[in-house]
Amino acid sequence: MRTVRITALVATSIWLLIQPASAENRIALVIGNGSYEKVPELPNPPRDAADIGRALERLGFKVMQTKNASAHEMRKAIVDFGRAAEGAEMAVVFYAGHGMEVGGENWLIPINAELRSDADIESEAVSLRSISLQVSKARQLGLVILDACRNNPFAAKMKRSLNTRAVARGLAPTEPSDNVLIAYAARDGTTASDGDGRNSPFTAALLRNIETPGLEISFLFRNVRDEVMAATNREQQPFVYGSLSKEAIYLKPLATVETHPARPTAVAKLPILQEVTKEKINSRDNLERNRFSPEDAQRVAAMGAERRCRPLLSGKRKATFKIFISSSWGYGHPKLDSAGELAVMRC
């Protein structure tokens, strides 16, 4: 009975952890606006967008890119992207450039915008809401990433024609629909740094983390937050809006192998099991950083570790190991005591 249970967990874990990342199921739009016609140029956004676009391509996304886009070009790109996003597994938009809040609504600024008055915003800019609606067409995840919270030179010269529409610093908070996340380079009401290097601090941190295998989407942005805050002496805090279901989502799954129905003995020899077991059992640091969901930790512990370690255990060590199997390592689960850790590490 125990062997049958472990075999079932092996199959379930493979199904959960190994997700194909085909370009047909993943679509992305990347926009980098830097060559503004009415305000000083921003050097980083086109580079930021190009680097993120290449990273997304390596992650299996079909990437649509536009650089230094006018209002017409931005709107057309968003419509084309939305049509391609119908039924996609994931839909991602990355935007780098100027953005602003007017009257509680967020707008992304094309390079040909003049914005003499706050009344011009609907005609000359692109609403964040319109982009959020397009990514929401994806089945699993809609993601909007905005490196657009810079100090905005348009705001200082914009004429206020409507007393009820304040022009605020940074971007306003947002409430996306289910299964949509919107990530800001700096939390609402604050501004982001452009940095001195090739990329902004936010994009640089995103590039360091976005292709990490087995890094769940929530922890990807937690890593980015911590790195940006460290790089800016805590002056810039990235922020993510939206909520997801309990399903773990990976831009890059832990491993990609082709799976076919097989006997339990053949499944147990797959490289993915060896890799996952090594990550989960032998790397306490990875476990404590919660790169894997509680469910993954529990299943992999049960399927791989017990089978590999059981013949080597006896007496007290065997009892201790069973405690490890039942508690597992992972977020929200109890941790092993020192005796338990020692027993597992000695397997």
- What order do you get walking across the sheet with 62-67 strand by strand? 62-67, 26-32, 90-96, 141-147, 180-184, 239-241
Domain assignment present for 250: no
Token pair belonging to 206: 């995103």
Residues 136 and 177 in one domain: yes
Instruction: Round to whole Å and give the CA distance between 150 and 265.
Output: 56
Asked which of 209, 241, 273 is the last residue of a domain, the reply is 241
pTM: 0.69
Residues with Cβ within 8 Å of residue 162, at least 6 apart in sequence: 103, 118, 119
* Close Cβ partners of 218 (under 8 Å, ≥ 6 residues apart): 244
Classify burial at 246, counting beta carbons within 10 Å of its beta carbon; exposed 0-12, middle 13-18, buried 19 or more: exposed
CATH code of the domain in which 223 resides: 3.40.50.1460
Burial environment of residue 188 by CB neighbours within 10 A (0 to 12, 13 to 18, 19 or more)? middle
Considering the domain architecture, whether residues 146 and 224 belong to the same structural domain is answered as: yes
User: Do residues 144 and 78 lie in contact, with contact meaning Cβ atoms separated by under 8 Å?
Assistant: no
Bridge pairing between strands 180-184 and 141-147: parallel
- Same domain, residue pair 105 and 233: yes
Give residue-wise pLDDT tens across range 143-186. Answer: 999 999 877 888 877 887 766 556 767 899 999 988 999 999 99
Which has the closest alpha carbon to 253: 286, 291, 222, 200? 291
The helix/strand/coil state of 260 is: coil
- The pLDDT, as a whole number, for residue 11 is 41
C-alpha to C-alpha distance for 109 and 103, rounded to whole angstroms: 15
The predicted structure's pLDDT at residue 137: 96
DSSP per residue, 277-328: HHHHHH-HHHHHTT-S-HHHHHHHIIIIIHHHHGGG--HHHHHHHHHHHHH-
Task: Give yes or no: residues 169 and 118 share one domain.
Answer: yes
The tokens describing 303, both together, are 């399927």
Q: Average pLDDT by consecutive 10-residue portion of the chain (347 residues)?
A: 40 40 78 96 96 98 98 98 96 97 94 94 96 97 94 81 67 93 96 89 98 97 98 96 93 70 44 44 44 53 50 46 41 47 52
Same domain, 154 and 270: no
Task: Give yes or no: residues 265 and 231 share one domain.
Answer: no
Strand ranges inside 174-281, DSSP E = 180-184, 239-241
Q: Is residue 135 part of a domain?
A: yes
Report helix, strand or coil for 270: coil
In the chain, the number of structural domains is: 2
Task: Read off the amino acid at residue 63.
Answer: V
Residue 237 lies in a domain: yes
Beta-ladder partners of 126: 108
Is there a domain that residue 185 lies in? yes
The reply to whether 229 and 269 lie within a common domain is no
Same domain, 270 and 175: no
In a domain, 129, yes or no: yes
Q: Count CA within 13 A, CB hemisphere, residue 85.
A: 27
The verdict on 200 and 118 lying in the same domain is yes
What pLDDT sits at residue 287? 42
CA distance 134 to 108: 15
Indicate whether 252 belongs to any domain.
no
Q: What is the pLDDT of residue 260?
A: 54
Residue 254, domain member (yes or no): no
177 and 48 inside one domain: yes
Asked if residue 106 is part of any domain, the answer here is yes
What secondary structure does DSSP assign to 7-42, as a single string? HHHHHHHHHHH-----TTTEEEEEEE----SSS---
- Whether residues 180 and 31 share a domain: the answer is yes
> What is the structure's pLDDT at 6?
39
Q: Which residues contact 9 (CB under 8 A, 6 or more apart)?
A: 299, 302, 303
State whether 73 and 178 are in the same domain.
Answer: yes
Q: Report the chain's terminal Cα–Cα distance, integer Å.
A: 23
d(CA 212, CA 221): 12
Q: Domain of 298?
A: 2-18+261-345
Asked if 40 and 153 count as a contact pair (C-beta separation under 8 A), the reply is yes
